[in-house]
């Protein structure tokens, strides 16, 4: 993966760029200290960037993977024009193996695979790129719709808490939970955001605060463990988070610490909102108990910014996600509308009927 500087302002709504048949990803590992892009010339580079968390956030991972398929198709046709589908197999497998929890990855790859099955024998490059761009554009449109639906639930002005990063950096633009916050702030319904720092990668501190500060939305960063005390102090109307996978019964997998935030919110009478596109809802997953939870290296917890903090010889448990039971969720917001007090019946109806409001 090659690091480059592009001639544009590096902002959250340009986290993924396609230029001159190459994919560029804003390197979220080094923000906010450095604003640099990683050049992905092929599918293997793209898969490696996803695994290394150059790009993160379920919708953004799916979009990136779709562009990776476009790169794979272009290269496969150049190598083996008479058998390009077979030439793509290894690249598609690498993309599918890049992260295990975010269902948007598999949703996007399945959508691209369905297109591949319908294409003729000529060069697939243009069709695959068009589909990847469509996935990108549809996600941004979905986020704008989500923002409006979610903002309408908030009686304000009030303060809110958010966890991890769910903004333009994590999506095709505008954001999921942070998109709700952006829309609600513009409507005068939110006057203060508290962003959990989100250990161990500090996405809340490095990314969410960076996005909100650029939008001139008042934000204060706090340690993840401070959220309950902040709720007890009063003035918090909602906790608003995103999701990497929502099970058919409404259980929600999201960044580690979300479950604890939901428990604290219920105890303190703070409403809990999950904002995610319908591509995040996995109807094949009956409950959160079956969602695969990625675990990463112990060094991520035992160190900070490359500096070892924990003592030698000590291990760490480092799950990246946890599962919040549906019973702790007051509302799931998608681009189709709002699911209040979600359960399996409401999730199924939402996915089948494409409602435009609350259930």
DSSP state letters, 232-255: HTS-EEEEEE--SEEETTS-EEEE
Q: Is the pLDDT of residue 199 over 50?
A: yes
Angstrom distance (rounded) from CA 124 to CA 115: 10
pLDDT, tens digit, 9 for 90 and up, residues 129-144? 999 999 999 999 999 9
pLDDT, tens digit, 9 for 90 and up, residues 231-272? 999 999 999 999 999 999 999 999 999 999 999 999 999 999
Average pLDDT for 190-209? 96
Q: Is the pLDDT of residue 68 over 50?
A: yes
Q: Any catalytic annotation for residue 91?
A: no
Nearest to 23 by CA among 57, 77, 66, 56: 66
Average per-residue pLDDT in the chain? 94
Cα–Cα distances (Å) from 306 to 301, 302, 330, 353, in that order, read 11, 10, 38, 49
pLDDT, tens digit, 9 for 90 and up, residues 267-307? 999 999 999 999 999 999 999 999 999 999 999 999 987 78
Which pLDDT belongs to residue 357?
A: 44
Count CB-CB contacts under 10 A for residue 22: 16
Cis peptide before 4 (omega within 30 of 0): no
- pTM, two decimals, is 0.89
Which pLDDT belongs to residue 1?
A: 67
Contact 355, 334 (CB under 8 A): no
Provide the CATH topology of domain 2-140. Answer: 1.20.120
Nearest to 99 by CA among 147, 71, 43, 58: 58
Contact 326, 348 (CB under 8 A): no
Q: Which CATH code of 2.50.20.10, 3.40.50.10470, 1.10.3720.10, 3.40.50.150 fits the domain covering 149-353?
A: 3.40.50.10470
Catalytic residue among 27, 75, 244, 282: 244
What are the boundaries of each domain within the chain? 2-140, 149-353
What confidence tier does 8 reach under pLDDT thresholds 50, 70, 90?
confident
User: What's the length of the chain?
Assistant: 359
Topology match between the domains 2-140 and 149-353: no
What confidence tier does 220 reach under pLDDT thresholds 50, 70, 90?
very high
Average pLDDT for 213-228? 97
Which pLDDT belongs to residue 358?
A: 45
Q: Is the pLDDT of residue 10 over 80?
A: no
Contact 286, 314 (CB under 8 A): no
């Amino acid at each position: 993966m090659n690091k480059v500087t592009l001639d544009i302002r590096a902002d959250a709504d340009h986290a993924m760029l396609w230029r001159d048949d190459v994919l560029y990803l804003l390197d979220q590992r080094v923000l906010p200290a450095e604003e640099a892009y990683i050049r992905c010339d092929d599918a293997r580079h793209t898969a490696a960037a996803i695994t290394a968390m150059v790009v993160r956030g379920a919708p953004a991972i799916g979009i990136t993977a779709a562009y990776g398929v476009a790169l794979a198709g272009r290269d496969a046709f150049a190598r083996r024009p008479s058998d390009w589908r077979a030439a793509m197999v290894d690249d598609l497998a690498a993309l599918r193996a890049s992260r295990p929890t975010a269902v948007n990855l598999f949703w996007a790859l399945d959508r691209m695979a369905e297109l591949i099955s319908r294409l003729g024998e000529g060069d697939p490059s243009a069709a695959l790129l068009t589909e990847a761009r469509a996935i990108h554009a549809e996600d941004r449109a979905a986020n704008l719709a989500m923002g409006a639906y979610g903002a309408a639930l908030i009686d304000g002005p009030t303060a809110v808490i958010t966890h991890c990063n769910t903004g333009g950096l994590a999506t095709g633009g505008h954001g999921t939970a942070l998109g709700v916050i952006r829309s609600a702030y513009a409507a005068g319904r939110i006057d203060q955001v508290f962003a959990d720092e989100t250990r161990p990668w500090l996405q809340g501190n490095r990314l969410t605060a960076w996005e909100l500060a650029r939008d001139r939305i008042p934000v204060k960063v706090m340690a993840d463990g401070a959220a309950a005390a902040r709720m007890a102090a009063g003035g918090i109307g909602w906790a608003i988070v995103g999701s990497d996978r929502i099970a058919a019964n409404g259980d929600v997998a999201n960044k580690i610490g979300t479950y604890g935030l939901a428990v604290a919110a219920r105890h303190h009478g703070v409403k809990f909102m999950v904002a995610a596109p319908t591509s995040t809802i996995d109807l094949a997953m009956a409950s959160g108990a079956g969602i695969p939870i990625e675990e990463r290296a112990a060094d991520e917890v035992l160190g900070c910014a490359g500096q070892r903090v924990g003592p030698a010889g000590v291990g760490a448990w480092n799950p990246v996600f946890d599962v919040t039971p549906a019973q702790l969720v007051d509302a799931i917001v998608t681009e189709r509308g709002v699911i209040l007090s979600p359960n399996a019946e409401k999730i199924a109806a939402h996915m089948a009927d494409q409602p435009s409001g609350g259930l």
